[in-house]
Amino acid sequence: MREYAVIGLGQFGATVARTLVELGGVVIGIDADMDIVERYKDDLGQTICLDATDEAALRAAGVADVDTAVVALGESTEAAILATANLKNLGVGQIVARANSALHERVLKLVGARRTYNPEERMASHVARAIISPDVHEVIPLSSGHSLVEVEAPRPWIGKTLSQLSVRGEHKINIVGIKHRRLAVDDRGRSVVAYDLNDLPAADDRIAEGDVLLVVGSDERIRALEKLR
């Protein structure tokens, strides 16, 4: 069972934390306000009142042992940056941070954030979906109960064609695109990963290792797909 720390239990952070719990995660909720910590102690597995800019306090709370930490300190740009740097120093494997601007996003990634989200653009519940499923790159809600997701091809599917997989008949989903991974060279001569999009996948198209699938379907069917990895 994966463990998560959510730092900052405002509306956005609390929704992320509760959704992670609903999806089966073990969550430590952290906030500097004791009243807020008390408010969510029954919803989350564990809540702690501490200042996330204090690296020693985070270590003492066991945050170094979580799989993923979410920094949801929207009101204080500086605190979010310091908390992210502390988590990096603690060796947290994946750090996800709330960004308020493009500049804030760049700084957060420089100090250790692997992913950033702007809550004005992304619903907290969908951010949680992307966090709890590392193979999911993006979640876009289409209508009630249906989404478009970018998800890494499940290992059992590698080497098979779409017709062999019977994605519509057996899995009740639609693959509307396949992004094929390749190595490229950027303007500075560095090796980078790039993707070529096949936006009209055919029945005889074969799934390769590293492919990212663009999938449309019900949230229930997409969750079943995510479990195939």
pLDDT 10s digits, 81-99: 999 999 999 999 889 998 8
Residues 6+ apart with CB under 8 A from 82: 52, 53
- Whether the CB-CB separation of 7 and 69 falls below 8 Å is answered with yes
Contact 101, 41 (CB under 8 A): no
Same domain? 25 vs 111 = yes
Q: For residue 185, which phi and psi values (nearest 5 degrees)?
A: -120, 130
List Cα–Cα distances, 195 to 39, 76, 179, 182, in angstroms: 44, 35, 6, 6
The pLDDT, as a whole number, for residue 15 is 87
Where is the domain boundary, 132, 162, 194? 132
Q: Which of 158, 125, 107, 94 is nearest to 15 (CA)?
A: 125
Range 9-31 average pLDDT: 89
Query: What is the CATH number for 212?
Result: 3.30.70.1450
Q: Which of 45-59, 160-174, 187-201 shows the lowest mean pLDDT across its residues? A: 187-201
121 and 181 part of one domain:
no
Whether the pLDDT of residue 194 is over 80: the answer is yes
Cβ within 8 Å of residue 172, ≥6 positions away: 217, 218, 221
Asked whether residue 176 falls in the same domain as residue 189, the answer is yes
Residue 29 confidence class, pLDDT cut points 50, 70, 90? very high
Residues 179 and 196: beta-carbon distance below 8 Å: yes
Identify the band that residue 156 occupies on the pLDDT scale cut at 50, 70 and 90: very high
> Residue 183 pLDDT > 90, yes or no?
no
Domain end marker among 71, 103, 132 = 132
More confident residue, 186 or 5: 5
Residues 128 and 146 in one domain: no
Burial of 182 (0-12, 13-18, 19+ CB in 10 A): exposed
Give the per-residue pLDDT at 126: 65
169 in the same domain as 77: no
CATH number of the domain to which 81 belongs = 3.40.50.720
Last residue of a domain, one of 115, 132, 149: 132
99 and 150 in a single domain? The answer is: no
Indicate whether 150 and 115 sit together in one domain. no
| Same domain membership, residue 193 and residue 121 | no
Alpha-carbon span 229 to 222, nearest angstrom = 12
Q: Are 80 and 103 in the same domain? A: yes
Do 90 and 107 fall into the same domain? yes
Q: Are residues 180 and 106 in the same domain?
A: no
User: What pLDDT, in 10s, does the model give residues 99-151?
Assistant: 888 888 888 988 889 888 876 555 666 667 667 665 566 666 665 677 778 88
Domain that holds residue 221: 136-226
Do residues 115 and 174 share a domain? no
The alpha carbons of the chain give a radius of gyration, in whole angstroms, of 19
Total domains in the chain come to 2
